[in-house]
Amino acid sequence: MTEARLCIASHAADSDYAPTSRVLLWKLGYALVPAAEASDPSLRVVRDDRLGEVEAAPGVPIIVLTRGRSPRIRDPRVAGTLRRPARLHELYRLIQAALEEHPRSVPRVPTSLRGKGETEDQHWDFEVRSLSENGCLVTGAKLPRQGASFELEIELPWGQRLATPAVAAYEQGECLGLVFHGITLGARKKIAKAVLELLSRL
């Protein structure tokens, strides 16, 4: 990504985040930096035992990291709480909800992958331009009509294939947005894992 990243001040230790969370957030457009290095943060992530550090801070949204169940924090700045170590997906959801006008629930990674769609009597070849665990954007010489349901298969760079039922849900420029409907939990977990791997390779 080349666009400016939103600054997030971290009032927590590296061990309070799941491994690679900081790197993957950077690739998703967010710079998670130690509080002492954050000059004008858009959001703060704070351990529950370090809330005193932000008592006098202006009305910047806060995500609180807890050790487990904790008393409800009555502070209007608190956008949500997470158990530490904070995992990327949950942290990303709260960051999006706090900062974005149209939040995404899951990370999306830009890609250039081969894919294909098939029904009993039709076949399409795609280039998959972006991927999340909920859907993807595809383009191709011939695309399904909106509302069409079919089986989608995506080839990953390391030789694995992802397969899921998909529905052609919307158009976005030259691309067609596919939503994964009727996906099994196992397939969803496999796609979510692939998204994180693709992010780490950017």
What pLDDT is attached to residue 142? 93
Return d(Cα 50, Cα 29) in angstroms, integer: 26
DSSP 173: T
pLDDT along the chain (202 residues), means of 10: 78 94 92 93 94 84 84 81 90 91 86 96 96 95 92 96 93 90 90 94 90
88 membership: H or E segment, kind and range: helix 88-99
Return d(Cα 70, Cα 169) in angstroms, integer: 41
Return d(Cα 18, Cα 196) in angstroms, integer: 13
Place of tokens 């006008």: 101
**What are the beta bridge partners of residue 115?**
126, 154
112 membership: H or E segment, kind and range: strand 109-118
**What are the beta bridge partners of residue 162?**
154
For the stretch 96-119, what's the b/e string if a residue is b when 16 or more beta carbons lie within 10 angstroms of its beta carbon? bebbeeeeeebbbbebebebbbee
